[in-house]
Amino acid sequence: MPQLSVVIPLYNEVESIDALLAALRQALEGADVEIIIVDDGSRDGSAAALDRAQADWSEVLTVIHLQRNFGQTAAMQAGIDAAQGEVIVTLDADLQNDPQDILPLAERLLRENLDVVAGWRKNRQDGLFLRKIPSRIANRLIRRLTGVKLHDYGCTLKAYRASVLHGVRLYGEMHRFIPAWLSTLTYTDRIVEVPVRHHPRRAGKSKYGITRTFRVLVDLLFVKFFLGYSQRPMHFFGVVGLFSLLLGTGMLVYLLLDKFVEGAAISGRPMLIAGVLFFLGGLQFLNTGIVAEMLSRIYFESQGKTTYVVRKRLPE
């Protein structure tokens, strides 16, 4: 079993494949490593180029071809599922991340017994308005809402303890939130960040645009809820529901006393409508919390998941 697995999702990067493999060969020479490249349904000849390369690399290189383009998160999950190493390093295929940083990240994780060592593109070689500024805004929001203090969530170059990484499943566009997901399984002080090299894109076209920022914001709302309440959804829905129920009840009791004590008419008063809405809304939130609690238990029990994780120490 290799000690290190390098997982690389790839989509329409035929111009970069030869240079990528050459850089990987130079950076990982002599290491106990497997390289897993996941072709995410490329349509530009990348699949054929990877198959040719696999024949030259013997057992070191594994190529996984997805049926169609499922997205970077799905491709990364496919590579993680196939990885057998004790440490898993993820890397982009466009060579903006430098393969020379792979071993230093993995060695830092092993040396300090960490769970995540994340790359930080401190000197990022991308456009200011379309890439850097939206990324800074998104990173600041993610840091504040998740509590995991990384400067660069968008950097794919990260090293993970495999036993911890295999404890989460990635869906949608969630690959950029992996450190946040892992904070549900480990302490945040076991997640560190180090500056890594970053290069301008040498060939091909970027697969990301300004619309990615809006997808990040939507995903972030789900991440925030999941991190805080996945095992106790009633604490969220119940608090909101109880507040709404008490507010509605207070309004209705006030109107009831006003009518029978003061003799006031209440049929046309806005407070009556508001009180009924708050009361019914509170009941609905409480019911939603009960259903969410049942679904949470089904989620964990049907998959044999536990609400705890046993630490597996890496060999020294």
User: Would you write out the chain's pLDDT as a tens digit for each of its 316 residues?
Assistant: 568 999 999 998 898 899 999 999 999 988 899 999 999 999 888 999 999 888 887 778 999 999 999 988 899 999 999 999 999 999 999 888 899 999 999 999 999 999 999 998 888 766 666 566 777 777 787 777 777 888 888 889 999 999 899 888 887 777 888 888 888 788 888 999 999 988 887 765 665 555 566 666 777 777 777 777 777 788 888 899 999 999 999 999 999 898 888 778 887 788 989 999 999 999 999 999 899 888 877 876 676 666 666 666 655 5
d(CA 41, CA 68): 4
d(CA 165, CA 189): 16
**pLDDT for the residue numbered 212:** 62
285: nearest Cα among 236, 227, 222, 224: 236
- Tell me the three state secondary structure of residue 240: helix
Distances from the Cα of 286 to the Cαs of 171, 244, 276, 290, in angstroms?
Answer: 28, 10, 16, 6
d(CA 186, CA 193): 15
**pTM metric for this prediction:** 0.77
Do 290 and 234 meet the contact criterion of CB atoms below 8 Å apart?
yes
Nearest 5°: the CA angle 210, 212, 217 is: 115
The DSSP call for residue 101 is G
**pLDDT for the residue numbered 312:** 66
**pLDDT for the residue numbered 63:** 93
**pLDDT for the residue numbered 207:** 56
**pLDDT for the residue numbered 22:** 92
d(CA 47, CA 69): 12
d(CA 90, CA 36): 10
Residue with tokens 């106990």: 32
Do 115 and 190 meet the contact criterion of CB atoms below 8 Å apart?
yes
Encoded amino acid at 94, one letter? D
- Tell me the three state secondary structure of residue 200: coil
d(CA 156, CA 178): 10
**pLDDT for the residue numbered 206:** 63
Cα dihedral sign, 235-236-238-244: positive
**pLDDT for the residue numbered 24:** 94
**pLDDT for the residue numbered 298:** 81
β-pair type (33-39, 4-10):
parallel
The DSSP call for residue 314 is P
